[in-house]
Copies of this chain bind each other. A is one copy, B any other.
Amino acid sequence: MRPTNALILACLALAALAPAPARADQPTFSETAAAEAAANATYGPRTTPGQTIPVPDDVSPQLQRLIAAPFGNVADAPKTGDEWKAAVAAANRTAMVNLDRLKRELGVTVEPTVVAGVKAYLVTPMTIPEKNRNRLVVALHGGGYVFYPGEAGTGEGVMMAGFGGFRVLAVDYRMPPDFPFPAALDDAVAVWKEVVKTTKPENVALIGSSAGGGLALATILRLKDEGLPLPGALAAGTPWSDLSSAGDSYAANAWLDNVLVAYGGMLEGMARLYAGGESFRNPYLSPIYGDFSKFPPTILTTGTRDLFLSNTVRAHRALKRAGAVADLEVYEGESHAQFLAGPSVPESREAFADIAAFFDAHLGR
């Protein structure tokens, strides 16, 4: 980094700690309007000014706290397999602390198992309502196809079990750097084939968020291609439906989403590591480029600040265009996957209540 940039960055860091500048330092609305009208006076890309965007006051105090939080990891992606593994191990330690608390709060147990040679976890709520006795949820965890191997990846499954009263089978699919695409998809399909030997497919829901949502959509594409039975319902939370940089919110919500923050760096690094040289336009990698006909009823969840807002609404529209039953839920002010916050955040309970109600309406018994 050149000295000039270092100096500017140091100053910006100091500025972040300083009191808000005096009102006189801010341009008036009319001044900003005139400048932006001039900057956007011809057809072309949109030019937006630097902004300070308040924490919205129309969401729960618990969600306000999440929205106000500092940026998550915006580091450059690790460069070697060992660096990736170190980053994964560090993230898992934090995730396990959160998971232990979550299991206690929701009264959910998690037991390791193996299904069709694939590692997995049986996630069981304290009580299973009669209507859910013959139902099962298969969960594909998020984490950019790299993070949260092992029990650390069962958090969403634990919430589905605890909030919804479902038995959950959480799949610990293989991931890079050791096992790039299509290992994760192969594992999801192998588990599915085994599950439907003993459970009616129409009684099984498939869930996943972020990379897990993308993998869930890709799994349906693969099941269709192989002529296998499909699940009775699908919940795709802010699915990574396009690994490429296409999608308006990758740019429009950059630096606004405090979880993923921006497409470059870590996020792009995970896409490349998972794809292992395969084209991002392969529908098994970026399911938005696939055929959405004959999809099961699907509920999608995102937030207005989500870097994957476009990934989610594009998948929703693709499903509607193909004639599927598809519900879209967009939460005010939420960044990527913040609906997974857990029991302390009312909007998180609400999201899982919606998903459970959707499953109840569409799954067999």
Q: Among B4, B71, B310, point to the contact of A304 (Cβ < 8 A).
A: B310
| In the complex, per-residue mask of A236-264: 1 if CB is within 8 Å of any chain B CB, else 0 | 00000010001111011111101001101
Q: Is the CB of A3 within 8 A of B29?
A: no
The answer, yes or no, to whether A320 is at the interface (CB within 8 Å) is yes
- Give the chain B neighbours of A26 by CB distance below 8 A: none
Rounded to whole Å, the gap between the CB of A265 and the closest CB of chain B is: 6
Q: Is the CB of B9 within 8 A of A3?
A: no
Q: Is the CB of B2 within 8 A of A22?
A: yes
A307 to B256, CA, bound (A): 15
Q: Is the CB of A74 within 8 A of B33?
A: yes
The answer, yes or no, to whether A198 is at the interface (CB within 8 Å) is no
Q: Among B1, B4, B18, B332, point to the contact of A248 (Cβ < 8 A).
A: B332
Q: How large is the interface on A (under 10, 10 to 19, 20 to 34, 35 or more residues)?
A: 35 or more
The answer, yes or no, to whether A31 is at the interface (CB within 8 Å) is yes
The answer, yes or no, to whether A354 is at the interface (CB within 8 Å) is yes
- Give the chain B neighbours of A258 by CB distance below 8 A: 40, 46
The answer, yes or no, to whether A97 is at the interface (CB within 8 Å) is no
Which residue of B has the minimal Cβ distance to A74? Answer: B33
| In the complex, per-residue mask of A296-323: 1 if CB is within 8 Å of any chain B CB, else 0 | 0000000011000110011011001100
A317 to B63, CA, bound (A): 15
Rounded to whole Å, the gap between the CB of A66 and the closest CB of chain B is: 10
Chain B CB count within 10 A is highest, among A37, A56, A65, A327, for A37
Q: Is the CB of B15 within 8 A of A8?
A: yes
The answer, yes or no, to whether A117 is at the interface (CB within 8 Å) is no
Q: Is the CB of A7 within 8 A of B14?
A: yes
The answer, yes or no, to whether A277 is at the interface (CB within 8 Å) is no
Which residue of B has the minimal Cβ distance to A13? Answer: B38
Q: Is the CB of B45 within 8 A of A52?
A: yes
- Give the chain B neighbours of A44 by CB distance below 8 A: 55, 68
| In the complex, per-residue mask of A59-99: 1 if CB is within 8 Å of any chain B CB, else 0 | 00000010111110011100000000000000000000000
A124 to B292, CA, bound (A): 36
Q: Is the CB of A8 within 8 A of B36?
A: no
- Give the chain B neighbours of A309 by CB distance below 8 A: 304, 330
A317 to B324, CA, bound (A): 22
Rounded to whole Å, the gap between the CB of A9 and the closest CB of chain B is: 5
Q: A5-B18, A70-B40 are in contact. Are A330 and B316 (CB under 8 A)?
A: yes
Q: Is the CB of A43 within 8 A of B15?
A: no
A321 to B41, CA, bound (A): 42
- Give the chain B neighbours of A265 by CB distance below 8 A: 29-30, 33
Q: Is the CB of B74 within 8 A of A36?
A: yes
Q: Among B46, B53, B252, B331, point to the contact of A46 (Cβ < 8 A).
A: B53
Rounded to whole Å, the gap between the CB of A286 and the closest CB of chain B is: 11
Q: Is the CB of A14 within 8 A of B11?
A: yes
The answer, yes or no, to whether A328 is at the interface (CB within 8 Å) is yes
A10 to B1, CA, bound (A): 16
Which residue of B has the minimal Cβ distance to A43? Answer: B68
Q: Is the CB of B328 within 8 A of A310?
A: no
Chain A 323-354 residues near chain B, CB threshold 8 A: 327-333, 350, 354
A210 to B34, CA, bound (A): 24
A36-B74, A249-B304, A316-B330 are known; give 17 further A-B pairs, CB within 8 A.
Answer: A5-B21, A5-B27, A9-B31, A13-B41, A16-B39, A16-B40, A33-B75, A36-B255, A37-B74, A41-B71, A46-B53, A47-B53, A48-B50, A56-B248, A57-B246, A309-B330, A317-B332
